[in-house]
């Protein structure tokens, strides 16, 4: 089955926040981070059910998985997502120093 990728508004805001924070410190680092995120989403599209359930899964009534990616310098990030029909919906993108969430939010943009 071919899946489509949809990044929800709050995940887009996460990406923009992380990118802006990095860009203030290193524009090249911000670009490398964005490239790492994009490569990770490509891997996700090839095998969306191959990633584990996220710790946040226990707080909601739908399935939440997560995938990890890291920068060239080894800083770790992860993204929370769910699968709805043929669509992979990215719910949040988190930095390695951010705690897990008690609730990832609804699986849509509402």
For the chain, the structural domain boundaries read: 4-95
Predicted TM-score (pTM) of this structure: 0.87
Q: Which two tokens stand for residue 50?
A: 């191959």
77 burial type by CB count under 10 A (0-12 exposed, 13-18 middle, 19+ buried): buried
Q: Which two tokens stand for residue 4?
A: 């489509």
Looking at per-residue pLDDT, the higher value among 7 and 73 belongs to: 7
Looking at per-residue pLDDT, the higher value among 96 and 86 belongs to: 86
Q: Report, as an integer, the average pLDDT of 3-26.
A: 94
Q: Report, as an integer, the average pLDDT of 88-101.
A: 80
Q: Does 97 score more than 70 pLDDT?
A: no
Q: Which of 27-36, 80-89, 91-100 has the lowest mean pLDDT?
A: 91-100
The H-or-E segment that residue 46 falls in is: helix 27-46
Q: Distance between terminal CA atoms of the chain?
A: 26
* CATH architecture of the domain covering 4-95: 2-Layer Sandwich (3.30)
User: Given the structure tokens 């290193």, which residue do they identify?
Assistant: 26
Q: Report, as an integer, the average pLDDT of 70-95.
A: 92
């Amino acid at each position: 089955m071919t899946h489509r990728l949809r990044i929800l508004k709050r995940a887009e805001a996460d990406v923009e926040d992380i990118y802006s924070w990095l860009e203030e410190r290193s524009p090249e680092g911000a670009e490398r981070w964005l490239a790492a995120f994009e490569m990770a989403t490509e891997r996700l599209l090839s095998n969306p059910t191959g990633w584990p359930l996220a710790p946040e899964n226990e707080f909601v009534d739908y399935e939440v998985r997560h995938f990890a990616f890291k920068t060239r310098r080894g800083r770790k990030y992860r993204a929370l997502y769910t699968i709805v029909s043929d669509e992979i919906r990215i719910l949040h993108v988190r930095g390695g120093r951010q705690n897990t969430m008690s609730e990832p939010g609804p699986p849509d943009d509402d």
